[in-house]
Each structure stands twice: as C-alpha cells, then as structure tokens.
C-alpha cells in the first residue's frame, strides 16, 4: 500500500496514528450526544428516586401528592406560633439565675433543634458525655418550663398571620395533631390561648367545632418515648389519630422535623419563617419547602 501511494513507512505510520485519534474522538463525541439525548428526552429519567419507609417517592413530587392526606401534624414554635422571643427571654433569665453567661439570639435559634434539657445544658457550656450534662440539663430545663409556660399569651406566643385562617380551612374529615420538642404543657398553652374552643355562628345556629377541639393528639418531648429527630412522637400521634404515617404530613421549621418525618415514612413540609436559615431547611429531608402560609395552604386539602 505504501508503494502504491508513494508513501514511506514513516508517513504511513503517521496516517495510521491520525486515524486512531479521529476514531477515539468520534466515539467520545457520540457517547456525549447519546447522554444529552437521554437527559433531555421526555419519559427518560436519569435522576434517582427517594425511597421512604419502603415506598418510592418522586424526586420532584407535585402538589397533588398532599391534597388527599388524612392527617396534618404541626410543630409549634416557629411553625404556627411566633414565640422565639418568649423562648429566648426565658432562657436568658434562667441562665442568669444560675450564673451562666447570656447567650446571643443567634445561638438560641441554632440550638432550638434540641430538646429543652439538652439545649439548656449546651447553653451552660456542657457537651453530651460530660458528667453533669444530663443532670444540669434536667435542672435548667425544668426551671425553664415552669417559668415560660406561665408567660404564654397571644402577645408572647401568638399565631403567625394567616395561621388561624389556615387551620379553620382544613376540612372536617382531615385529622389534626401537634408535636413539639418543648414540653407538652407548653403545646397545650399555646394552642389554648390562640384557638377558640368553639366558634358560634349566632342566630340560634349550632356552634361549629373550635380549632383547639380539632387537635386530636398533642404531644411534647417530655411525653413521648424519644424526641425529634426520632420518629417516636409522630408514631404516637398517628396511633391516637387512627392513621398510618403515610396518610399524614408533618409541618415544621427545623431540620429535626424533616428528619423525624423522613424516619417515620411521612410526607413533610419545611417552612422558612421560623428559627432556622433557609439553607438548612432546604438541605433537610423535607419533600416541600414553603416561604409563606399561602404556599403551604395551596399544597394541602382545604374546605370548598
């Protein structure tokens, strides 16, 4: 062949090398085109799905996924009640009474993901595993609970704007519960002062069920087997409501809320108006994230 085209052996070798390079480039190019086609062609999904308690859930679920839920469970602080200032001020008082330096508001917000005893022990400079961690946390936590529950009213722990209307628009056949990492007495106090026990319509018409009466199960970290991020509290509430976890949605403002729901196999909504930065909420295992009450209400069933 070399003599037919009047090519020397070195020239022929040069051509062969060039052909090999061209062939390799062609293979790479065709592979890239095929990958791009797979990613852009409708019906071909290259994204992994999220598996939750044995069920497969789309990585990008639609709003229709929640419109038929049978139960809605709420966190309290930072989710339905704007109560962070009450919690912070009460924390400062208790710490000062025990000779512990004042903490910043930023530290308070960051530590709200813990139960009250653990949060207070950490504020006192202790770490899990320290000899006095549990005892000090229990002491400070009890003082905090006894102090701040008595201060709950609509000014210190009022509902966020739009929450009362949102609760009133939940259909009567959808069950409601509440789970907080604060004590259960605090949960009842917040709901009692914000929710009418009954709502009369006047004119001799029968009274309709009040918002507080709609909460079929209310629990805190002190009356469930394990607090959030463990799913135990959600299991307790589901049992009392007569529902399965997959029939409910949990709404909260803390990454621990998303983790608890995820561990329970329950759908979840993270809200951005609470104590935790948006970045942390979006990194948590929430299926949905809402920036306002209207977005949250649009995802869920409501009265027609």
| Segment 7-48, tens digit of pLDDT | 455 544 544 555 454 444 444 444 444 444 333 333 322 222
Closest CA to 83 of 94, 95, 75, 71: 75
Joined tokens for residue 234: 């959600």
Note the pLDDT of residue 51: 30
Q: Grade residue 65 by pLDDT with cuts at 50, 70 and 90.
A: confident
| 44/230: higher pLDDT | 230
Q: Grade residue 224 by pLDDT with cuts at 50, 70 and 90.
A: very high
Note the pLDDT of residue 276: 95
Joined tokens for residue 42: 């409708």
Joined tokens for residue 246: 């997959």
pTM tops 0.85: no
For β-strands 198-199 and 267-271, DSSP reports them as unpaired
Helix and strand numbers, DSSP H then E, in the chain: 12, 10
Joined tokens for residue 33: 């085109």
Residue 106 has pLDDT above 70, yes or no: yes
Note the pLDDT of residue 202: 45
Mean per-residue pLDDT for 190-217? 72
Contact 247, 227 (CB under 8 A): no
């Amino acid at each position: 062949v070399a003599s037919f085209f009047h090519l020397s052996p070195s020239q022929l070798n040069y051509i062969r090398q060039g052909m090999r390079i061209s062939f390799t480039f062609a293979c790479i190019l065709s592979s890239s085109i095929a990958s791009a086609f797979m990613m852009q062609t409708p019906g071909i999904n290259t994204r992994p799905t999220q598996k939750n308690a044995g069920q497969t859930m789309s990585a990008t679920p639609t709003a229709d996924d929640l419109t038929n839920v049978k139960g809605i469970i709420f966190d309290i602080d930072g989710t339905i009640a704007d109560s962070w200032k009450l919690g912070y001020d009460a924390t400062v008082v208790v710490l000062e009474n025990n000779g512990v330096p004042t903490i910043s508001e930023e530290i308070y917000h960051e530590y709200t993901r813990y139960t009250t005893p653990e949060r207070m022990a950490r504020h006192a400079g202790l770490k899990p595993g320290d000899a006095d961690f549990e005892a000090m946390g229990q002491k400070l936590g009890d003082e905090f609970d006894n102090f701040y529950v008595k201060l709950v009213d609509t000014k210190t722990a009022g509902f966020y704007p739009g929450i009362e209307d949102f609760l009133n628009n939940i259909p009567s056949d959808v069950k409601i519960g509440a789970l907080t990492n604060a004590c259960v007495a605090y949960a009842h106090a917040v709901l009692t002062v914000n929710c009418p026990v009954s709502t009369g319509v006047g004119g001799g018409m029968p009274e309709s069920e009040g918002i507080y009466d709609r909460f079929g199960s209310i629990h805190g970290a002190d009356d469930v087997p394990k607090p959030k991020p463990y799913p135990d509290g959600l299991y307790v509430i589901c049992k009392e409501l007569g529902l399965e976890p997959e029939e409910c949605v949990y709404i909260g403002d803390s990454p621990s809320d998303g983790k608890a729901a995820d561990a329970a196999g329950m759908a979840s909504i993270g809200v951005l108006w609470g104590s935790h930065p948006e970045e942390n909420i979006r990194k948590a295992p929430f299926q949905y994230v809402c920036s306002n009450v209207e977005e949250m209400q649009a995802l869920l069933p409501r009265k027609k």
